[in-house]
């Protein structure tokens, strides 16, 4: 023991071996030997000695608990669980063993059972902080953020410098959109542990979410200085594009830097991916903000996909092997859907009918939900599908799960928003792999076979924008349920939301990072043509993003002789029922160029709010156009900027005209909402791609 205290584990182990050679050694020596060998890092030797402690020895429960720890370290989780349960049975008051059992159950993916055992530990010993830590981890895994916050706050009240809890607490801050709080906590961690790489990575991520892309890039660079082969840091630094651009020239500069840095990264691809498990963990990143620059991203997406694919092929080559369709007859077609957005969200609202509307006599449905948040939409999906998988600890575990289910077709409603699905889309996990337009830009991935889009939203040269084979669906491409205005919200008037009663309100509901600089001239022209006009935006969660956008718009307004406070309103984010009422209280929705409204346009149209749009070159700028055509309102689709301004102001200033258009929208809701045809065509698509995987480059499925 003296040698161990001096850090000389070699001498300590030699000494305990001599002691064990004595005649009839005391059983306690086996427990001591297990401790010493564990400290020396010789886990198998430690395990063998812990196993020798007899049941009638006072240290039996401690030995079994130690076995559980050793087995868990050796990734033998089922044996670890059994040893832990044995320890608890031998000593039901052994809080450490109870808490270790909770930790093991959490590693096995059973958050509910982990929570139960951790609560038992904290009931026996309320100040046992590790029990509260496990409660927090289990709650985070199951999406119970309030429970996790309470548990973490209990630990931090007793130990404000508990680094792991501070970092976990930032996860909840981000869920609650409290980015500034998250940044403050991470900076505290780095005060305590300046070189902790995971904390620097979290700081970079939080700064980026706050809109400080240069601050984020500096932190990623700091990680690379400490660890040059840190793949996540290298990728995230390249991807840290501005959320708000000062001008189109700023977009050009950012795009040029992105392409250059991606090329540099690709040139040294061989330096990454030397440790497969760590590579899989570090490649859980998405490439989200490139699409908002309003350009053709095919080649950049292809380059990015090629780099990621080259790394993962070295790490996990078996996940790139082609998969043959299962020739078995008499069974249903197996369709899998992978997403983190099967809750009330843009992607969830758009694509839930793809999952729930398929004919169950023909299709066996698998859902892979890479999130922990549950709401009514999640419950509806879960109640109708055959298989619903939730929470896997790693991307690799998800890949193994999906591949093991032997699907015929794997569908990603989006690729580019969720980091897990963005990485999964690199692999070949099913014979046919399909992506939807939840993030409407090509994935660039070689292993995604089809891009399913809405045909009425695509331009004539659409196929040239995608690496995947383009296939189109009719209508909205989905059976989108008509949003219903909450009757309680009808009592709210403009004053309730701080909106002026005597102004013409032009609503621009898009997230600020989606509003391209090219839109500013349109906005200012509308304000100049309508002296009573006010633009209405939503602030969003990131104060810096609003500040940057506001500064850009303020400068443009000043150049036109207008003051921002007199002509522009920023509203806070509100619950969806109140958001719909705000739409109803406004006069016109101004659609945005390059990235048009999708969910926002459908919300506006659901309450009869007229939209004026100027279609873009790519599908992501043409969604409102397709909706208006469906409603028989092509007169609201402008051919140029002058037409856009004229039609917007005509609606804003002519109440009778506006009322007629609004009534036409409502009368024609049946043409847009709750349309079952797209899902029927989707079913035909699945049958046809299984019958033949050699479709033409562009294929209309209507």
Are 472 and 496 within one domain?
Answer: no
Domain count, the chain: 3
In angstroms, rounded to a whole number, what is the distance separating the alpha carbons of residues 339 and 442? 17
Are 462 and 542 within one domain?
Answer: no
| 224 in a structural domain | no
In angstroms, rounded to a whole number, what is the distance separating the alpha carbons of residues 676 and 349? 15
Phi, psi of 176 (to 5 degrees): -85, 5
Q: What is the pLDDT of residue 693?
A: 56
Q: Give the domain-ending residue among 173, 206, 229.
A: 173
CATH number, position 468: 3.40.50.11380
Are 469 and 496 within one domain?
Answer: no
Contact 190, 196 (CB under 8 A): yes
Within 8 A by CB and 6+ apart from 656, the residues are none
| 545 in a structural domain | yes
Within 8 A by CB and 6+ apart from 169, the residues are 149, 152, 153, 156, 185
Are 577 and 664 within one domain?
Answer: yes
Contact 414, 436 (CB under 8 A): yes
| 324 in a structural domain | no
In angstroms, rounded to a whole number, what is the distance separating the alpha carbons of residues 550 and 570? 9
In angstroms, rounded to a whole number, what is the distance separating the alpha carbons of residues 663 and 326? 52
Are 388 and 505 within one domain?
Answer: no
Are 598 and 690 within one domain?
Answer: no
Low-confidence ranges of the chain (pLDDT < 50): 694-702
Where does 108-196 have alpha helices with state H? 111-124, 129-142, 145-158, 163-175, 179-192
Are 20 and 69 within one domain?
Answer: yes
Are 615 and 641 within one domain?
Answer: yes
Q: What is the pLDDT of residue 596?
A: 97
Contact 399, 387 (CB under 8 A): no
Within 8 A by CB and 6+ apart from 256, the residues are none
| Helix H or strand E segment including 568 | strand 568-571
Buried b (16+ CB within 10 A) or exposed e, 544-566: bbbebbbebbeebbeeeebebee
Tokens of 499: 């909106």
Three-class SS state of 658: helix
SS3 content of the chain, % helix, strand, coil (to 5): 55, 10, 35
Contact 179, 209 (CB under 8 A): yes
| Domain span at 614 | 487-671
Q: What is the pLDDT of residue 699?
A: 45
* Listed residue (437, 410, 405, 404) closest to 424, CA to CA: 410
Where does 414-463 have alpha helices with state H? 419-424
- The gap from C-alpha 2 to its chain's centroid, in whole angstroms, comes to 51
CB atoms within 10 A of CB 202: 23
- Over residues 359-382, the pLDDT tens digits come to 999 999 999 999 988 899 999 999
| 583 in a structural domain | yes
Is the entire prediction scored with pTM above 0.85?
Answer: yes
CATH number, position 506: 3.40.50.2000
DSSP-derived secondary structure letter, 456: G
CB neighbour class for 301 (10 Å; exposed up to 12, middle 13-18, buried from 19): buried
In angstroms, rounded to a whole number, what is the distance separating the alpha carbons of residues 364 and 337? 11
| 464 in a structural domain | yes
In angstroms, rounded to a whole number, what is the distance separating the alpha carbons of residues 627 and 607? 14
Are 364 and 503 within one domain?
Answer: no
In angstroms, rounded to a whole number, what is the distance separating the alpha carbons of residues 642 and 647? 9
First to last CA, the chain: 78
């Amino acid at each position: 023991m003296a040698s161990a205290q001096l850090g000389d584990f070699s001498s300590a182990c030699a000494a305990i071996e001599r002691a064990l050679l004595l005649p009839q050694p005391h059983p306690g020596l086996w427990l001591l030997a297990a401790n010493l060998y564990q400290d020396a890092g010789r886990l198998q030797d430690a395990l063998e000695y812990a196993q020798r402690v007899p049941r009638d020895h006072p240290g039996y429960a401690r030995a079994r608990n130690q076995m559980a720890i050793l087995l868990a370290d050796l990734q033998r989780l089922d044996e670890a669980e059994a040893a832990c349960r044995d320890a608890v049975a031998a000593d039901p008051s052994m809080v450490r063993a109870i808490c270790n059992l909770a930790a093991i159950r959490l590693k096995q993916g059973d958050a509910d059972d982990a929570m139960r055992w951790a609560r038992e530990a904290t009931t026996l010993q309320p100040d046992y902080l590790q029990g509260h830590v496990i409660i927090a981890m289990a709650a985070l895994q199951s999406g119970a953020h309030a429970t996790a916050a309470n548990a973490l706050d209990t630990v931090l009240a007793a130990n404000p410098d508990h680094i792991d809890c501070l970092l976990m607490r930032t996860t909840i801050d981000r869920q609650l959109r409290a980015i500034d709080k998250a940044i403050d906590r991470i900076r505290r961690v780095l005060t305590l542990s300046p070189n902790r790489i995971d904390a620097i990575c979290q700081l970079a991520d939080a700064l980026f979410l706050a809109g400080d892309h240069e601050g984020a890039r500096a932190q990623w660079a700091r990680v690379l200085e400490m660890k040059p082969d840190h793949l996540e840091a290298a990728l995230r630094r390249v991807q840290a594009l501005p959320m708000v651009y000062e001008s189109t020239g700023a977009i050009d500069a950012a795009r040029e830097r992105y392409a250059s840095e991606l090329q540099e990264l690709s040139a040294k691809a061989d330096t990454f991916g030397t440790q497969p498990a760590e590579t899989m963990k570090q490649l859980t990143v998405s490439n989200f903000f490139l699409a908002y620059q309003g350009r053709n991203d095919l080649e950049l997406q292809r380059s990015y996909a090629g780099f990621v694919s080259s790394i993962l092929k070295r790490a996990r080559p078996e996940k790139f092997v082609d998969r043959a369709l299962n020739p078995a007859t008499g069974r249903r077609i197996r369709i899998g859907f992978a997403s983190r957005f099967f809750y009330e969200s843009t992607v969830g609202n758009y694509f839930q009918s793809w999952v729930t509307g398929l004919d169950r006599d023909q299709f066996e449905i698998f859902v892979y939900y890479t999130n922990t948040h549950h709401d009514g939409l999640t419950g509806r999906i879960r109640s109708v599908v055959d298989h619903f998988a939730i929470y896997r600890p790693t991307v690799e575990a998800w890949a193994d799960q999906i591949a093991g289910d032997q699907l015929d077709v794997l569908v990603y409603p989006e690729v580019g928003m969720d980091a897990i699905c963005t990485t999964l889309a690199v692999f070949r996990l099913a014979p046919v792999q399909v992506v939807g337009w939840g993030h409407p830009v090509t994935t660039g991935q070689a292993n995604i076979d089809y891009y399913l889009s809405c045909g009425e939203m695509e331009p004539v040269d659409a196929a040239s924008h995608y690496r995947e084979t383009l296939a189109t669906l009719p209508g909205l491409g989905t059976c989108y349920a008509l949003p219903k205005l909450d009757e309680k919200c009808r009592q709210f008037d403009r004053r309730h939301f701080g909106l002026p009663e005597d102004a013409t309100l032009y609503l621009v509901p898009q997230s600020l990072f989606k509003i391209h600089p090219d839109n500013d001239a349109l906005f200012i022209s509308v304000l100049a043509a309508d002296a009573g006009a006010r633009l209405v935006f939503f602030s969003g969660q990131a104060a810096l993003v609003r500040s940057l956008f506001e500064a850009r718009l303020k400068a443009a307004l000043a150049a036109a002789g207008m003051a921002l406070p007199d002509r522009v309103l920023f509203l806070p984010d509100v619950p969806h029922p109140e958001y719909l009422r705000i739409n109803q209280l406004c006069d016109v929705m101004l659609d945005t160029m390059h990235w048009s409204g999708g969910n926002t346009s459908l919300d506006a149209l659901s309450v009869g709010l007229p939209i004026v749009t100027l279609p873009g070159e790519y599908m992501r700028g043409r969604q409102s156009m397709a909706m208006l055509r469906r409603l028989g309102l092509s007169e609201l689709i402008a051919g140029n900027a002058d037409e856009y301004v004229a039609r917007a102001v005509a609606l804003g200033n002519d109440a009778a005209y506006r009322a007629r258009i609004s009534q036409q929208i409502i009368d024609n809701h049946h043409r847009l909402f709750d349309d079952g045809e797209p899902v029927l065509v989707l079913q035909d698509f699945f049958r046809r791609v299984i019958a033949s995987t050699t479709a033409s480059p562009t294929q209309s499925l209507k």
